[in-house]
A and B are shown apart, each in its own frame.
Chain A
Amino acid sequence: MFAGKLLFNLILLLCLEALIVPLYCALMGFAVRSVAGLALVLAFGAVALASTATIVAAIIARASGSGTLFAILTVPLALPLLVFLIQGTRAAAQADAVAAVFPALRAIVSLAGVTLVASAYLFPVVWHD
């Protein structure tokens, strides 16, 4: 159940990124020097965001709450991720080497890992309560 919902959110996010990021770069003249670095940052960022969004959406569904509550609960949890993603994107734009994004990537991968594990454990509790 959790894997299916997570996969749907992840695919949706990756499709949106594949569409929006090149469009943004072309229209805004945003040059990326390390495309591979940015791709890594975006991929792991999507995993972290999808796992947070999946579990919070489940909480909202069980709380029979509104979209406003979803924003209230998700935004604070996604903000630390956003901080690391901004740093990773900046590094990818400024340096040619993929290694430049590694400090931010380490934080993103760790955050994605703990969020994914916590969400996977909590989902049955939330969904079947």
Chain B
Amino acid sequence: MTETKRPSWWPWLLFVWMVVVIWAAFYYAPSARGFKGESARIVFFHVPQAWVAVLAFCVNLVFSIRYLRRRDALDDARAAAAARLGLVFAVLATVTGSLFARVMWNHFWNWDPREVSIAILLLIYFAYFALREAVGDEERRGALSASYAVLAFVTMPFLIFVVPRIYWSLHPDTIINTRGSIDMESRMLHVLIGSLVGFTGLFFWLYALDVRLARLRQKHQQRGEV
């Protein structure tokens, strides 16, 4: 995961890609059966947001472990940047999920196992930032928050995969269902894959910006300007 400076056309390509994805989500993909109105179209945004949140927490874990091994302050900054973006995308996934729940089941929040799981996941990563804020010393903050990140990550599979499968859930089948197959019309699948690529690109672009900012801050600190 290197933060090499990307060419300036990269954000523009991403912008065009996302515009096409949004257009395709509403005009190219057909309506889904068994859902109220056009509510199922939220899948093209909700699923990629949830995927990016998980990806971000994976990146957070990788750099947390790397920090514990190498004690490089930049690894701590990378881990924090990934967790910050993971939290943003997890909040977005919660909001889009709630909007879907309002249309389908008349309530924004139904205490469904998946809703409870994501709420706990949000609490865990809010706690991660509470810990970071509570520790003044930079090196100690890095070590403690990296340790907490590892603990948080080992809990995550239970929230994402186990809790929703132990309890009965209102949530529609996941994209790759329990039978290991994908029951989705091909045009919908094209849009979903396009959206997954777009959101992943968006994540890495925002992540690279955040890390560049941390690197600049670090340089200024070393020069004694801040």
Chain A residues at the B interface, C-beta cutoff of 8 Å:
52, 55-56, 59, 62-63, 65, 69, 72-73, 75-77, 79-80, 83-84, 87, 103-104, 107, 110-111, 114-115, 118-119, 122, 125-126, 129
Secondary structure call for the B interface: helix
CB proximity of B54 to chain A, nearest CB, Å: 16
Chain A residues contacting B139 (CB-CB under 8 Å) are 129
Contacts of B155 in A (CB 8 A): 77, 80, 111, 115
From B131, B147, B166, A103 is in contact (CB under 8 Å) with B166
With beta carbons under 8 angstroms apart, the residue of B117, B124, B166 that contacts A87 is B166
List 21 contacting pairs A-B, 8 Å CB cutoff, sorted by A.
A52-B151, A55-B151, A62-B140, A63-B140, A65-B135, A69-B131, A69-B134, A72-B131, A73-B130, A75-B123, A76-B123, A77-B127, A83-B116, A84-B162, A87-B166, A104-B166, A107-B162, A111-B158, A115-B155, A118-B151, A126-B147
Contact with A110, one of B117, B120, B150, B158 (Cβ below 8 angstroms): B158
A77 and B124 contacting across the interface, CB-CB below 8 Å: yes
Asked whether B162 lies within 8 Å of A73 as measured between CB atoms, the reply is no
Q: What number of residue pairs across chains A and B have CB atoms under 8 A from each other?
A: 87
SS class, residues of chain A in contact with chain B: helix
**Which residues of A sit under 8 angstroms from B124, Cβ to Cβ?**
76-77
Q: How far is the CA of A72 from the CA of B128 in the complex (A)?
A: 9
A69 to B126, alpha carbons, bound, how many Å? 12
Q: Mark B87-116, 1 if CB is under 8 A from A, else 0.
A: 000000000000000000000000000001
Interface residues of B (CB under 8 A from A): 68, 116-117, 120, 123-124, 126-127, 130-131, 134-135, 139-140, 143-144, 147-148, 150-152, 154-155, 158-159, 162-163, 166-167
Which A-B residue pairs are the 4 nearest by beta carbons? Answer: A76-B123, A76-B124, A129-B143, A122-B147
Complex Cα distance, B155 from A62, in Å, reads 22
Given A79-B120, A83-B116, A125-B68, CB of A59 within 8 Å of CB of B148:
yes
Chain A: which residue is nearest B69 at the CB level? Answer: A125
Smallest beta-carbon distance B79→chain A, Å = 14
Least CB distance from B124 to A in Å reads: 4
Query: What separation, in Å, do the CA atoms of A62 and B162 have in the docked complex?
Result: 32
Chain A nearest Cβ from B215, distance in angstroms: 24
Minimum CB–CB distance from B200 to chain A (whole Å) comes to: 26
Of B68, B117, B148, B158, which one neighbours A107 at CB under 8 angstroms?
A: B158
Besides the contacts A63-B144, A129-B143, what 8 more A-B pairs have beta carbons closer than 8 Å? Answer: A69-B134, A73-B131, A83-B166, A107-B158, A107-B166, A115-B155, A122-B151, A126-B143
Chain B residue nearest to A52 (CB atoms) is: B151
- B144 and A76 contacting across the interface, CB-CB below 8 Å: no
Tell me, in angstroms, the Cα distance from A76 to B90 when the chains sit together. Answer: 15
Closest to B158 in A: A80
Residues of B within 8 A of A76 (CB): 120, 123-124, 126-127
* Chain B residue contacts of A77, Cβ below 8 A: 124, 127, 151-152, 155
Which residues on the A side are within 8 Å of B140 (C-beta)?
A: 62-63, 129
